[in-house]
Structure 1
Amino acid sequence: MSDISTPPARLLLKETDYLLFWASRWLGSFGSQIQSVAMGWTVYHLSRDQGLSIGQASFNVSLIGLITFLPLFFLALPAGETTDRYDRRRVLVLCYLVEIVAVGILVAATASGHASVNVFLGVAVLFGAARAFFSPATTALGPMLVPRELLPRAIAWNSLAWQTASIAGPAAAGFLVGLSSKVAFMVTLALYVAATLLVLVIRKNTRPVVQTGSRLELVKEGLAYVWSNRIVFGAISLDLAAVILGGATALIPAFAQDVLKVGPTGFGILRAGPAVGAAAVAFFLAARPIRTRAGIKMFLGVAAFALATIVFGLSKWMWLSVAALAVLGGADMLSVFVRQTLVQLVTPDHMRGRVGAVSSLFISASNELGEFESGVVARFLGPVGAAVFGGVGALIVTGVWAQLFPALRKADRLE
């Protein structure tokens, strides 16, 4: 493939099964964003209503991320092997069914008045278990639905589905939680059901070619592949280290309520800020994918992510906070695009589930543990100090990784 700008993006519109997958991904992402925002907002207010301090309430919100990550940590590698052994469409459907049960519990708890922090943490465990299988299943299923020459385009449009849903989701959640948490969770439930039905309509063969060997041997093979490919390992570990330190998502409820004092509507706008920037970059990359100097551009994206985190932490104005979050999201999208394209282009189809599981483990660790880290630091430094501390740390990580992984820094064309 000499030029990843061809064939044209309109050829994706002829791939019916891919369009069904894309629509399902958008609806599921939209639902998960509403659920995530509503859970964070509700837990923060439950904690504050119990008389806990701002730092303690922020810590409780961060626990959702930690609890969601724990089952993924233990299940990610078996989930990857499962995705490379069984029909990937069926694995994805089962994930959605578990998520439907999880959000159904939240609907029942909020409707009956029995919502508590412990109930939300219990649902986070169930949701994390489903996400352990969901990530490798979606990562491996998408490339099966398009010709290989359309894969870079499809990756950009997959990211676009996630990011546009991430814009609409928090904004919708801000409005819905203003009505009630129960309404927000009921909408999420309907979206998960719709996403499941779309996956069921996919007709292409989505069963991988199963490799010989025991489950343990296949898991080891996937780990060995990631470790031996220094570009792939450097890319996903850079995201892990930078976002663990720089992730400020768990702090947004505290900023909205007690720093900027903008209420639930402002919270929804702030929460959508990163997705606005990410979607803008995703639109650009879908039309004009990166052709040269991919490694350098990824490092610049991570550095911009770190600087925007610092600005967000220091900002006292709503408009500047939203702008900083938009820059943060756009910079992260650039890094995500380079990483995902590198990983999916070089990985054989029969290993995509296992490699995708390792990648999703790193991504989830960065997101969920990043939120937990921010909550812990916020207990001691407050939300402002936690955001600035994380941004400075992410900036240092960028420089260190640029020296540790010269092959990644020198990566040129995404082919």
Structure 2
Amino acid sequence: MTRAWAHPFRSLAVRNFRLFAAGQVVSVAGTWMMVTAQDWLVLELTGDSGTALGVVTAAQFTPLLLLTLYGGRLADRYDKRVLLVLANLASGVLALGLAVLVLCDAVRLWHIGLFALGLGVVNAVEVPTRMSFVSELVGADLLPNASALSAAYFNVARIAGPALAGLLITGLGGTGPVMAANAASYLATVVGLRAMRPGELHRPPRPAARPRVVDGLRHVRARPDLLLPVCLVAVVGLFGLNFQLTLPLLAKTVFHADAAAFGLLTSCFAAGSLLAAFATTARRGRPSGRQVVYSALVFGALEAATGWAPGYAAAAALLFLTGFAALYFAQAANHRIQLGSAPEFRGRVLALYTLILQGSTPLGALLVGALSARLGARSGFWAGGLVSLAAGLAAWAAERRVRDGPDPDGPPPRPPDHSGTDRRAIRP
């Protein structure tokens, strides 16, 4: 094995991936600045209402629940690079519109909800397209490393974004400049995508027939080794991964933190996630089902413990560990699902993964928001952690039954062809 191949940053040797990663670091940093500013603005407009924050969060993620499977179908049918350019331009326009309203002191709560809804529609296409595009950038051999590095730069941006947003909100006295910076950040991804060499992408042949959503669902249903992590992600995502809601409530209502201190708590969580991302760059193949289950159990225990944190410093430390466990679990599930699915179904399978992981957020945000409003911000962490623990235990029992069956890591079977034509590899 060559030294370059063993290097944890080996995927960056691919020019197209370097361009993609560079643009994403800037864009995702802007996005996390925007998340921090948007949450803070909602709390300011509503007198620290957890219910209002839950409604805005639900508005942003509802389109993922309704449209992501169709976004995956688009990713399997059309040029992913073109789709990503259009999605980032649309997101930039939406962010700019909200920034103007804030800077003109004309923003209302319904404006924020409308922007969140529009961004959710764009993300329903962008997220599964972006996730499945990584395999086209680097090929199958480098996919685990590139996926881990993608999580790493995402969390670098997640650390820098909220901390910078908190400082800007405090220093400039408002959220408008932060939102304007986010609007400009989308151009970095667009520039990187346009500068790529299309001939170096790893693209399958053109599809013989239009991809159908139902065939992707049948592919997952026929594979217990895919279905089990999908179901576990569904429960953990619904109850445990609501930090966009629970973190600001914990910071503002329990520890009475200002914007800068809130940004620091978010950055602690992201720092743990970043460490987990770098830890998974060493992965060279498909993780086992046990890795997915055990990581879910550890995450559930740490999230519940965060709810009992006695002070700000203890919460920051526990959020660091929770962030590590959350990202490690999400990456293990992602790699198990992505590396086990047939390439021609990858866009639709990852759309289902995105739907389960993020599309469950609207219901989860409403449930956890209502629980936090009634029992306090800590209850959101308690409920999320304990439910995730219970789901991990159930998955552990189910995973043992899967291991006793046919080899789950063997060649993936193909579902029956319902298109009336021979099934062939599908070009994005």
What TM-score do you get using the length of structure 2 for normalisation? 0.88
Tell me, in whole angstroms, the C-alpha distance in 1 between the residues paired with 2:289 and 2:197. Answer: 37
Structure 2 counterpart of 1:255: 250
Structure 2 counterpart of 1:165: 157
Tell me, in whole angstroms, the C-alpha distance in 2 between the residues paired with 1:154 and 1:79. Answer: 22
Deviation of 1:366 after TM superposition, in Å, equals 4.1
Letter in 1 for 2:19: L
Greater helix fraction, Structure 1 or Structure 2: 1
Tell me, in whole angstroms, the C-alpha distance in 2 between the residues paired with 1:297 and 1:414. Answer: 18
Question: Using a 3 Å threshold, how does the CA distance of structure 1 residues 248 and 213 change in structure 2: closer, same or farther?
Answer: closer
Structure 2 counterpart of 1:212: 208
Larger mean Cα displacement after TM superposition, 200-209 or 73-82: 200-209
- For these two proteins, the number of residue pairs brought into alignment is 403
Structure 1 residue 200 corresponds to structure 2 residue 199: no
Tell me, in whole angstroms, the C-alpha distance in 1 between the residues paired with 2:410 and 2:27. Answer: 28
Letter in 2 for 1:158: S
Cα deviation per residue 1:258-307 (whole Å; 9 max; x = unaligned)?
21112111100111222111111111221x32779733232222122112
Which one of the candidate residues 35, 50, 57 is aligned to 1:58?
A: 50
Question: Using a 3 Å threshold, how does the CA distance of structure 1 residues 407 and 326 change in structure 2: closer, same or farther?
Answer: farther
Tell me, in whole angstroms, the C-alpha distance in 2 between the residues paired with 1:92 and 1:414. Answer: 33
SS at match of 1:213: coil
Matches within 5 A, 1:378-389: 378-389=372-383
Matches within 5 A, 1:301-312: 301-312=295-306
SS at match of 1:145: helix
Deviation of 1:190 after TM superposition, in Å, equals 1.6
Deviation of 1:28 after TM superposition, in Å, equals 2.3
Matches within 5 A, 1:145-156: 145-156=137-148
Structure 2 counterpart of 1:37: 36
SS at match of 1:247: coil
Structure 1 counterpart of 2:237: 243
Gapped regions of structure 1 (runs ≥ 5)? 49-53
Tell me, in whole angstroms, the C-alpha distance in 2 between the residues paired with 1:252 and 1:14. Answer: 37
Deviation of 1:82 after TM superposition, in Å, equals 1.0
Which one of the candidate residues 91, 94, 111 is aligned to 2:103?
A: 111
Tell me, in whole angstroms, the C-alpha distance in 2 between the residues paired with 1:398 and 1:227. Answer: 20
What TM-score do you get using the length of structure 1 for normalisation? 0.90
Identity, % of aligned pairs?
A: 23
Matches within 5 A, 1:276-295: 276-286=271-281, 288-289=282-283, 294-295=288-289
Structure 2 counterpart of 1:404: 398
Structure 2 counterpart of 1:82: 74
Structure 2 counterpart of 1:51: none
- Contact 1:29 1:165 survives alignment (8 Å): yes
Deviation of 1:167 after TM superposition, in Å, equals 1.2
Structure 1 counterpart of 2:414: none
Deviation of 1:10 after TM superposition, in Å, equals 5.0
- Contact 1:174 1:267 survives alignment (8 Å): yes
Deviation of 1:6 after TM superposition, in Å, equals 5.3
Letter in 2 for 1:16: R
Matches within 5 A, 1:168-179: 168-178=160-170, 179=172
Cα deviation per residue 1:194-231 (whole Å; 9 max; x = unaligned)?
2211111111245653323345xx21111111222212
Deviation of 1:248 after TM superposition, in Å, equals 4.3
- Contact 2:25 2:157 survives alignment (8 Å): yes
Cα deviation per residue 1:79-99 (whole Å; 9 max; x = unaligned)?
111111111000001110110
Tell me, in whole angstroms, the C-alpha distance in 2 between the residues paired with 1:409 and 1:353. Answer: 26
Deviation of 1:370 after TM superposition, in Å, equals 3.1
- Contact 1:109 1:115 survives alignment (8 Å): yes
Which one of the candidate residues 343, 368, 377 is aligned to 1:349?
A: 343
Which one of the candidate residues 183, 192, 195 is aligned to 1:189?
A: 183
Tell me, in whole angstroms, the C-alpha distance in 2 between the residues paired with 1:231 and 1:412. Answer: 6
Tell me, in whole angstroms, the C-alpha distance in 2 between the residues paired with 1:13 and 1:313. Answer: 38
Deviation of 1:176 after TM superposition, in Å, equals 2.1
- Contact 1:98 1:130 survives alignment (8 Å): yes
SS at match of 1:315: coil
Which one of the candidate residues 376, 391, 395 is aligned to 2:370?
A: 376
Which one of the candidate residues 319, 324, 336 is aligned to 1:330?
A: 324
Which one of the candidate residues 52, 64, 81 is aligned to 1:72?
A: 64
Deviation of 1:38 after TM superposition, in Å, equals 1.1
- Contact 2:287 2:336 survives alignment (8 Å): no
SS at match of 1:133: helix
- Contact 2:9 2:145 survives alignment (8 Å): no
- Contact 1:239 1:363 survives alignment (8 Å): yes
Tell me, in whole angstroms, the C-alpha distance in 2 between the residues paired with 1:90 and 1:97. Answer: 11
Which one of the candidate residues 119, 125, 150 is aligned to 1:127?
A: 119
- Contact 1:235 1:408 survives alignment (8 Å): no
The two structures, once aligned, show a CA RMSD in angstroms of 2.5
Gapped regions of structure 2 (runs ≥ 5)? 412-428
Structure 2 counterpart of 1:271: 266
Tell me, in whole angstroms, the C-alpha distance in 2 between the residues paired with 1:152 and 1:160. Answer: 12
